[in-house]
Amino acid sequence: MLIGNFTTTTGVETTRQRLLSLAVIVCLTAGFGVIVLNVSYWYGRLATVPLFDDCGYFLDGAARHREFLQHGLSSIPSCYMRAHPHSPFSTYMAFFSYLIFGLKMVAPYALNTVLVFVLLFFVNSQMRGVSLIRKLLVFGFALSIPFTTYLISEFRPDLACALFITIGEILGLEQKWTGASFKRRFGIGALFGIAMLTKPTVFPQTGFFFCATLGLAVIIERLTEPQSFRLWPAVRSTFTAVLAFILISLPHFYMTFGYLVGYIKEGLVSQHDIWALHGTIWDHIRYYLDGIGGTLMLGHHLYLLPLLIGGSLLILIRAPNEKPRVLRVCALLILLGISYLGPTLNPVKTQFFGANFFCMLTLLGTLSFRHISDWLSEHRDFEKLGVLFAALGIAPALPGNLTYAVLIMTAAYFFASMRNDTRTKDIRYGIVGAVLLAAYCVPWFRQELRTHFLNRWELAAWIAGTVLVLELYEFLYARRKPVEWLALVSICALGLLVHRGQERLGFRDSPELLARAQTNRVLYANLKARTQRAEAPARAVFFTAVGSINAVTISLLYYEDNLPPPDVMTTDIKGVPDEVAYFLDRADVVVASEADNPEIYNLLPNGQFQTELLEYIRGDSRFVETARIDTFNHKAYILFDKKTKGPSGRPGFKPKAKDK
């Protein structure tokens, strides 16, 4: 166990204990998945049409799913060779989710719960011999961290890749490699190989962390066993991992290396100005801490996780004969620092580029939390401190300033509970009453509730439930009843029920999202009528802009209706002028857009020429305007049908100025 074990447990579990732990993990994963998917259904990605980048993997998986239904197992390798997936992991996750649940939008997100199972299963593997009560405490803490929510609510490979890399790093530094079993060494290499296939476009980063893990493991062995250390045997012991890494990742990279290099160059060089964060140096430093990225992925756990890691490291430093473990934790902290510096120094920013940093902080903080709780239990006769840690761990899952209110309430509650005078109950319920009064009367508190909660009764229910559970725990503890685990589970469950880890994109029944869904359906119905007609069906459709409603969302609707989608074309996000003539020559139907259409990405270069492009198409004698499909603000998509074939003979499209 990497972050030491100061309990009297032996680290050995019976088959019954292992099966019970596995059953608990399955139940927690399923329950957590239902909660996350429910929130996503009303407020997140499931509340609207499929969005980028998720929809790209949905489409690839749906295409392979259709091929499988038509041609059977032989279609899987043939499709792979004919069209290499951008991310084999995400594409085939979507593919298998459609096989299991049917071709529904929720299916890939439902299968994403496997990633939460992997996280909890790994945490459980680091707690062999620990009581189920403490495991539940640690599992609840891990599920309260926003990063864990995003493992389900975002269907993109960045987070899964980070999870495999982080588990590989921790296992790779957990013990020395010389004398390790073949199975262990091969498994660690396989984890990094799977990470390479999960998100191939970050292969330089994955390869670096793999080599750094092996190098640090050899260095630690040299520092901890200087007398018996031999360089060549230590290096040779890593060859099995290297072999697994190469065997798993090499075939895909042999076929796609040129494409991957071009993709990386396009994102970091050609499209640099589009995606780069234009801000001060402090904006870059804080982006993955308390900036946009860190706020979404860590929330207020940003402040708690480093404290837990630091406390755990301090316990190890002060313990006798723990130099090897101290060095291993320090090596992980070096990798943590690198995983932060890399995306921070990169001017191109998204919250997903910091996935390795967030995942490493999540797992190290979770294991440190377990370590500290064990140490406190061993050295202090205060079992209630375990409940205190649970409440403090769950509180950061609450949004905004409510976190601090719950932290203060919980701390004061426990301070009062340790008193022996008759005023204890008055102090406790006075604190609870003050928080509820603030929720109903203080203006900023009401604003927080309107922003993050369904209503104020939700907060009242959470506080009341917490008080009841704590009272139940005290009642049971006073009588030494062996059911204290029930109180811990209840507290964790209450925390999960109010978890708001994922970004809210809007309310499902809001006018904006209802209008978007209606526009998507009407546009699909118009295109379906043209592409499925008996005489001269349209075979190629040209979308002039990229947006929430796009070529991918329309193609997915074709697959849902078990129909082959048309050849759908769209302009590159960098701009449209050089591509327009080529696409207009090929297209049978054109989907153009009026300026200020809320469903297109107007800030992208190809969204800023829509007025001129619309007039250019209207001036093309080959096309006739046949339909107008309104959006939420009554700016419309305009459909054009081609009535004559052949080139237009007109000059190419050259916009004079950008739309304002």
| Share above pLDDT 90 across residues of the chain, in percent, rounded to a whole number | 9
Residues 516 and 493 in one domain: no
Q: Which amino acid is at 20?
A: L
CATH number, domain of 522, equals 3.40.190
Show the domain range for 418: 393-497
Single out the residue in 497, 531, 557 at which a domain terminates. Answer: 497
Total number of domains constituting the chain: 3
Element holding 460 (H helix, E strand): helix 456-478
HSE-CB at 560 with a 13 A cutoff on CA atoms is 15
Residues 232 and 204 in one domain: yes
Residues 515 and 636 in one domain: yes
Q: What is the pLDDT of residues 519-536, one digit of tens each?
A: 888 888 888 888 888 787
User: What confidence score (pLDDT) does residue 454 get?
Assistant: 44
User: What confidence score (pLDDT) does residue 6 get?
Assistant: 32
Highest-confidence segment of 24-28, 66-70, 162-166, 519-523: 162-166
Choose between 206 and 406: higher pLDDT.
206
Average pLDDT of the chain, as a whole number:
76
Contacts 24+ apart (CB under 8 A), 338-343: 338/209, 338/212, 339/209, 340/288, 342/205, 343/288
Tell whether the model's pLDDT for residue 404 goes beyond 90.
Answer: no
User: What confidence score (pLDDT) does residue 398 get?
Assistant: 47
Residues 479 and 539 in one domain: no
User: Residue 429 — pLDDT band, cuts 50, 70, 90?
Assistant: low
Tell whether the model's pLDDT for residue 285 goes beyond 80.
Answer: yes
Tell whether the model's pLDDT for residue 623 goes beyond 80.
Answer: yes
| Order of all β-strands in the sheet with 540-543 | 567-570, 540-543, 589-593, 636-642, 623-630
Tell whether the model's pLDDT for residue 65 goes beyond 50.
Answer: yes
Q: What is the pLDDT of residues 88-110, one digit of tens each?
A: 888 889 889 998 888 888 889 99
| Share above pLDDT 70 across residues of the chain, in percent, rounded to a whole number | 72
Tell whether the model's pLDDT for residue 163 goes beyond 90.
Answer: yes
Residues 493 and 515 in one domain: no
Average pLDDT value for residue range 61-88: 82
d(CA 218, CA 224): 10
| 3-class SS of residue 32 | helix
Is 293 part of any domain? no
pTM exceeds 0.85 for this model:
no
Single out the residue in 440, 465, 497 at which a domain terminates. Answer: 497
Q: What is the pLDDT of residues 359-390, one digit of tens each?
A: 999 899 888 877 776 665 565 444 444 454 55
User: What confidence score (pLDDT) does residue 484 get?
Assistant: 42
Is 462 part of any domain? yes
